[in-house]
Amino acid sequence: MKQLFPLFMLLLFACGGSEPLTTVETLDLNRYAGKWYEVARLPNKFEDGLKCVTAEYTIKENGKVQVVNRGVSIADGSASVSEGEAKRPNTEVPGVLKVSFFKPFYGDYYVMQLDDEYGYALVGSPDREFLWILSRTPVLPKDISSQLMQHAENEGFDLSTLIWTEHSCSE
């Protein structure tokens, strides 16, 4: 099975820091767990040519989070799956997680925006190279997408190459 996101952690680990990102003040991992649809993203090598991208988070007994990312190749319809693990490195900064698909390398996963119902989220990296708009549904209302994009721009992200994820796959 082809691996999805194989370079993700290596790329994030190698990137230098920038101005700090604003993150959410509270993040209940139990409520965050479950399936998220990628609504939009900045281009990255590990998702090139994929549609129907989702992430599923499951809380493990040790308190860490199992991460399963899935996508479908636009070219041939083949499935791509990658499994990893997330952890909260500092409980005093709940919106910051570290994610690894290649141990021992961990990359930054900053939850910058999250609605009260845990229905959508804006996630990025402090180097501004990685950004995702996530939702519990494949599509978000335009006003919410616009608000999340404005927040990302205010945080210094260049959205000129933002990719809107196609979700025309059967589940």
Alpha helices in 33-141 (DSSP H): none
Number of domains in the chain: 1
Count Cα atoms within 13 angstroms, Cβ side, for 155: 27
pLDDT digits over 141-153, tens only? 999 999 999 999 9
- 1 found inside a domain: no
User: What pLDDT score was predicted for residue 171?
Assistant: 59
What is the model's pTM?
Answer: 0.88
Number of helices and strands (H, E) in the chain? 3, 9
- 2 found inside a domain: no
- 136 found inside a domain: yes
* pLDDT mean over 63-75: 96
pLDDT digits over 87-136, tens only? 999 999 999 999 999 988 999 999 999 999 999 999 999 999 999 999 99
- 169 found inside a domain: no
**What CATH code is carried by the domain that includes residue 22?**
2.40.128.20
Could you tell me the pLDDT band of residue 7, with boundaries at 50, 70 and 90? very low
Query: How large is the C-alpha radius of gyration of the chain?
Result: 15
- Residue 12 sits in which domain range? 8-164
Structure-block tokens of residue 93: 């900064």
